[in-house]
Amino acid sequence: MQLDIKDITKNYKMGTEIVAALRGVSVNLLKNEYMAIMGPSGSGKSTLMNIIGCLDTPSAGSYLLEGADVSKMDDDQLAEIRNQKIGFVFQTFNLIPRADVFHNVELPMVYSGLSSSKRKKLAEEAIEKVGLTDRMKHKPSELSGGQRQRVAIARALVNNPSIILADEPTGNLDSSTGAEIMSVLDQLHQAGNTIILVTHENDIAEHANRVIKLKDGLVESDELNHKHFAA
Amino acid sequence: MKSLHEIKESFSIAYGAVKANKVRGMLTTLGIIIGIVAVVTTMTAANGLGNRFKESISVIGSDVLYVSRTPWVFSGNFFQFRNRNQLTLKDGEKLERQLQEAKAVNPRTYSNQNLKYRSTVLENVTIIGTTENHVLVSAGAPQYGRFIIDNDVQYKKQVCVIGWEIKDRLFKDVDPINKKIKIGRNHFLVVGVMEKLGSAGFFGGPNFDRQVMVPISTLMKCFGGRNRNFDIVVKAPSTEALYDFEYSVIGEMRKIRKLAPTDENDFSINKMDTLMAAYNNVMGVVILIGLVITSISLFVGGIGVMNIMFVSVTERTREIGIRKAIGAKRRSILIQFLFESSSICLIGGLIGLIMSIGVTQIINAFLLPASISPGIVIIAIIISVMVGVVSGIIPAYRASKLNPIEALRYE
């Protein structure tokens, strides 16, 4: 099992009030699954994504990522898990503006301590996978939105993570560029990667072969995407 | 290995950050530059003063002891020395006889007199009555003519050797050798001119170039021999042996002065070190105060850096979030910002050092023999990096503690 979440809750303190964002969510995920998490705002979708992405820890419940319990880890251990096992793709790309494409993609490997020759080789491979070899020395500001998101995908891929976590990856893109990015993700899935997609758009969610819907901090539905299996 | 990569990364980030905000970086650096220039200049000026002082008292010689009635430097009441007996010429003769290991013994006595050559008068000049051994114990040799010889002393000849300044003032362009000058009411023949020796007058010490040397016997004949006080100048076998030598001198002097074992010494041993120690005592405090005052400017510069680092952290909150999301640990972020603040300060420090070299040249040309020693360079570099670390630590710590979720959301 790639990911096993059991009965996690997450409470936030808002002033004196305690708000429950997740109220007992259980999800598990197999290797090479392609899952979409959907839900309206306030459903706990972002909270769940943050916990899956090891940016946050649950208030209660357990979260095993490739057998390791990440729910009780401290900040630095979580940083290492994020570095090794999670690849983030954000709605707003979140590239480092002063660094060029190559350096942005190389960065996760800097933090994992790879030698510069290895970093060069792996970064170039990842950049080639998203088709930006000729843009290697460009700054993010010199790229289009779609190209920026490709850089982000290359960066997410480069440490060969257990899960690629894409949070509204097409949210800031026009529909044709969005489709392009989705096809990159589809290809990655086909190549054996495990992908979690967080979205509120049905036609984006349809790329996944499993869709989880959240509502008020609980799992409302967890269904396979029949369209995929029918085809 | 891992940290090495992070340090390299931190360095390139710091470089990029400074480059991206050139004007801001320059203004921030300016504070450090001014601070370093102030501190370094104070240190070099202090060094220069020290050098000047050392130079000026080097005439005394580091292996020479002056046995005198009173110490050169003392704390407390002068009256404690008032009842001491004069040191006599006999004491000197006895010491010379008994102190076998001494390289040379030279008794001296002093008088202040007016000098006159033709119509030029110099008032209140130190006249030193001395022997041929003078040149063995003290630095300096005659530039022109000769020094006093045994024969002069034996026959109380009215000859004199004049200091450089005396030559300049009294004779100007005239060759002074074999000219007659008046010391007090007595005529003396100038037989020699001492080379330029320098002056400690800057520190209220003696001016070695404004002296006239005459045979000790002649001085006593012309200016009175009764109740006269003498200094006995003795030269140790070597500078290293000075410490032991001082003990033998004290021992012999106690015998000569017939002191009982319980009596305190009724004479004083003076040496160059005593002056140096006194100088260091006084100047140490002055320099310390100077450094404290100039450090304040460096401190203000450091506050400027801290301020800019807080701005830098806030500006890059989102970047910190991104770095954390892709696996930067707290330590990496901390190092990144510490590197940035240290780089700003190091650059400031280096520029400050270069400017200090210029300031030192000016001091050197017009005031003091000042120079920037390698020690000062190293200290300045260490100080500037330290200022960087100290002023960067709080902003860097704050950055390292940022919550990645909130940081990523920051606009």
Domain that holds residue A188: 30-45+84-230
pLDDT at res. B107: 94
- SS3 at position B210: coil
Check CB contact of B90 with chain A, cutoff 8 Å. Answer: no
Q: Give the best residue of A45, A86, A94, A158 to mutate against chain B (max B CB count within 10 A).
A: A94
**Closest chain A residue to the Cα of B14, Cα to Cα:** A98
In the predicted structure, residue B203 carries a pLDDT above the cut 70: no
Answer whether residue A197 is part of any domain. yes
Residues of A in contact with B326 (CB under 8 A): 82-83, 88, 107-108, 111, 155
pLDDT at res. B402: 93
DSSP state, residue B78? G
Q: Give the best residue of B326, B339, B397, B402 to mutate against chain A (max A CB count within 10 A).
A: B326
Q: Encode B365-384: b = buried (16+ Cβ within 10 Å), e = exposed.
A: eeebebebeeebbeebbebb
Q: Which of B319, B326, B404 sits opposite A111 (nearest CB)?
A: B326
pLDDT at res. A229: 66
pLDDT digits (tens, 9 = 90+) for A79-128: 999 999 999 999 999 999 989 999 999 999 999 888 889 999 999 999 99
Contact yes or no for A96 and B322 at CB 8 A: yes
Q: If contacts are CB pairs under 8 Å, which of residues 326-345 in chain B contact chain A?
A: 326-332
* B332 Cα to chain A: minimum distance (Å): 8
B139 lies in the same domain as B232 = yes
pLDDT at res. A230: 56
Q: How confident is the model at residue B204 (pLDDT cuts 50, 70, 90)?
A: low
B262 lies in the same domain as B282 = no
Contact yes or no for B405 and A55 at CB 8 A: yes
DSSP A23-43: EEEEEEE-TT-EEEEE--TTS
Residue B360 tokens, joined: 């030192």
Beta partners for residue A25, in sequence order: A8
pLDDT digits (tens, 9 = 90+) for B297-345: 999 999 999 999 999 999 999 999 999 999 999 998 998 899 889 988 9
Say if pTM beats, i.e. exceeds, 0.80: no
Q: How confident is the model at residue B146 (pLDDT cuts 50, 70, 90)?
A: very high
pLDDT digits (tens, 9 = 90+) for A123-142: 999 999 999 999 999 999 99
pLDDT, greater one: A224 or B198: A224
**Domain tally, chain A:** 1
Contact yes or no for B326 and A107 at CB 8 A: yes
B247, B266, B285: which is the final residue of a domain?
B266
pLDDT at res. B67: 92
B325 with B6: CB under 8 angstroms? no
**Domain tally, chain B:** 2
pLDDT at res. B201: 58
Domain that holds residue B315: 2-56+277-409
Answer whether residue A52 is part of any domain. no
Answer whether residue B320 is part of any domain. yes
B261 lies in the same domain as B308 = no
User: What phi, psi does B109 have (nearest 5°)?
Assistant: -145, 155
pLDDT, greater one: A88 or B200: A88
Residues of A in contact with B328 (CB under 8 A): 79, 111
pLDDT at res. A49: 92
